[in-house]
A and B are shown apart, each in its own frame.
Chain A
Amino acid sequence: MTDLLGQTLAAARDGLKAKAFSAAELTDAHLVAMEGARSLNAFITETPEMARAMAKASDGRLATGDAGPLEGIPLGIKDLYCTEGTRTTAGSRILDGFVPPYESSITTQLWRDGAVMLGKLNLDEFAMGSSNETSYFGPVTSPWKRRGSNAGLVPGGSSGGSAAAVAARLCLGATATDTGGSIRQPAAFTGTVGIKPTYGRCSRFGVVAFASSLDQAGPITRTVRDSAILLRSMAGHDPKDSTSADVAVPDFEAAVGTSVKGKVIGIPKEYRLAGMPAEIEALWQQGIAWLKAAGAEIRDITLPHTQYALPAYYIVAPAEASSNLARYDGVRYGLRVPGRDIADQYGRTRAEGFGREVRRRVMIGTYVLSAGYYDAFYVKAQQIRTLIKRDFEAVYADGVDAILTPATPSAAFGIGEKGSGDPVEMYLNDIFTVTVNMAGLPGLAVPAGTSADGLPLGLQLIGRPFDEDTLFALGEVMEQAAPKVVLPERWWS
């Protein structure tokens, strides 16, 4: 009997084609797992009826030979993607009762390719957070625990529900989004694989906006191959998003398993932080050794403006967020808190509808864009962004094919452990990932080992624009070389 839940997306796809099990059986097994895992709080909305209907339709297409590339594959959808007729919350109270009258372009493509929706996944409110603790619907608990401890851990964020659901085997893959590290950090925290593709690779149409020049969608899965499969269906040019790139989508899966001999891997010295745990440094050295053993050439490089990426991000991202979130006015959709006049109604609606972190970021964004400060903050941050991008362009022009760094400065931390006093403490989680968003590059997080207390640790591969293929090839080498990820036993059901 096949382990319907424990298998990879690729294996499930092949099993469905070989009629080893039906799409209905596969979906039912995942629905049971999802319902049994409510204590993790990974899903905000479960859609079992829709899932069963979609699986039934998939079985029909599998029978007639009309199966799409994701036919019958049960997925979780981050609740930042608009789904027609299914409540979409963005993890916020301000979208109270919002049922989108349209479908995001990415999910449209997933259903076109035969995928099945299990439900909508929890996230930090408007994707603003690194621990999934800012969600109006409560934090997500990671399926992982420290060795010898029962303390609840965060799955990372903002795509915390996506990462937790994939690691807990509640779905075969999940959609996610990444503005400063929100795919790669939760993937690293949960022993899963996540890729933030090149800016413009996936359409942003119908994905609730946070910071439009940084936001990019991507998958979280249990293997590199599964990410390649899912990304192919998610990617592609979309006339409804003016920043969507009109470039061909390769068969990413074909790159998995190709040789990396002769590839030049840059190791940036600026990612070696003072006070970084020894186990992160050791993991990085291990990754270097694996790629070297596979025939890659390792080269020390410098990306001199790295340290300025995170502070510049905390100007650019809140500025764009304050502009994007201006639409939540209590008039056209979502929560309305009545006031004595319209201005009072706006103020009350937004004070009650937005959580603490979102209010803080909207206010910072408003400040840096306000008269007299725009040049000193916003323009300067965009100038620094140019310098960060030039750093990468220079090393790529010198023949570097990809860059290897740690994915996060530590393993997962406990719920309630960070950021309560000083918001900056939480922001530092994204120190290795945020440069990639600032430069619009693709970045892949791959599990590479475990911490002293048994938690997953990940490494990050950064690629050239629109060269996700190289990341998938290198990621597969690391996945094969790394100790096999042993996902936690199901203590939650």
Chain B
Amino acid sequence: MSVDQATVRRIATLARIAVTDEEVPHLQGELNAILRFVAELDAVDVTGVEPMTSVTPMALPLRPDAVTAGGIADKVMRNAPASEDGYFVVPKVIE
């Protein structure tokens, strides 16, 4: 499997990474090199094999549904590039 330039642009959009026109052919080459490398897996018969979901057998731990942390809005906001009155500020989303 290999990707064309339109696919590279589509992946970049999905990944929310801006790419320039000059970058696209390079990225295409690099992504295709990786895809050629992983194509080795086509040789493996995986019929009936369970996909791994947990590398060590363990049940997901549960805890009572109670507030265990909170009241730290100032700490949560401290690293924000832009904030106002306890809100993160972003460019206008709805016209």
Contact = CB atoms under 8 A, between A and B. Distances in A.
Interface of A: 97-99, 101-102, 198-200, 213, 239, 242-243, 245-246, 305, 307-308, 311-312, 314-315, 322, 326, 329-336, 338-348, 350-351, 354, 359-360, 362-364, 366-367, 370, 373, 376-377, 379-387, 389, 422-424, 427, 438-440, 465
B88 A331 contact: yes
A213 B13 CA distance: 26
Contacts of A346: 16
B70 interface: no
Question: Which 3 interchain pairs have the tightest Cβ spacing?
Answer: A440-B55, A347-B18, A333-B79
A347 B91 CA distance: 13
Contacts of A376: 1
Contacts of A367: 3, 7, 11, 31
Interface in B72-95: 72, 75-76, 78-82, 88, 90-93
B79 to A, nearest CB: 4
A61 to B, nearest CB: 29
A387 B46 contact: yes
Nearest to B37: A424
B46 A380 contact: yes
B66 interface: no
A348 B12 contact: no
A359 B17 contact: yes
Residue from B8, B39, B40, B92 with most neighbouring chain A CB atoms (10 Å): B40
Given A242-B60, A384-B46, 20 more contacts: A200-B58, A243-B56, A308-B40, A311-B39, A315-B38, A342-B90, A345-B91, A346-B16, A347-B13, A347-B17, A350-B17, A360-B27, A362-B15, A367-B11, A380-B44, A382-B51, A383-B51, A385-B52, A422-B33, A424-B37
A334 B49 contact: no
A339 B17 CA distance: 12
A370 B14 contact: yes
A282 B12 CA distance: 46
A179 to B, nearest CB: 12
B38 A363 contact: no
Nearest to A365: B15
18 contacts: A98-B79, A213-B54, A239-B61, A239-B63, A305-B44, A308-B44, A311-B39, A311-B40, A330-B81, A331-B90, A362-B17, A376-B1, A380-B51, A382-B51, A383-B49, A387-B46, A439-B55, A440-B55
A307 B41 contact: no
Interface residues of B, number: 51
B88 A351 contact: no
Contact of B55 (A199, A343, A366): A199
Contact of A465 (B46, B56, B72, B92): B56
Interface string B13-40: 1111111000000010011011101111
Contact of B58 (A243, A347, A360, A385): A243
B61 A314 contact: no
A326 B82 CA distance: 19
Contacts of B63: 239
B56 A314 contact: no
A101 to B, nearest CB: 4
A245 B59 CA distance: 10
A334 B81 CA distance: 7
A269 to B, nearest CB: 18
A387 B13 CA distance: 34
Contact of A363 (B1, B11, B52): B11
A307 B55 contact: no
Contacts of A373: 1
Given A243-B58, A382-B53, A363 B15 contact: yes
Interface centre among B7, B63, B91 (most CB of A within 10 A): B91
B56 A245 contact: yes
A341 B11 contact: no
Contact of A380 (B3, B41, B78, B79): B41
B50 interface: yes
A119 to B, nearest CB: 20
B93 to A, nearest CB: 6
Chain A CB count within 10 A is highest, among B14, B19, B40, B88, for: B14
Nearest to A424: B37
B41 A381 contact: yes
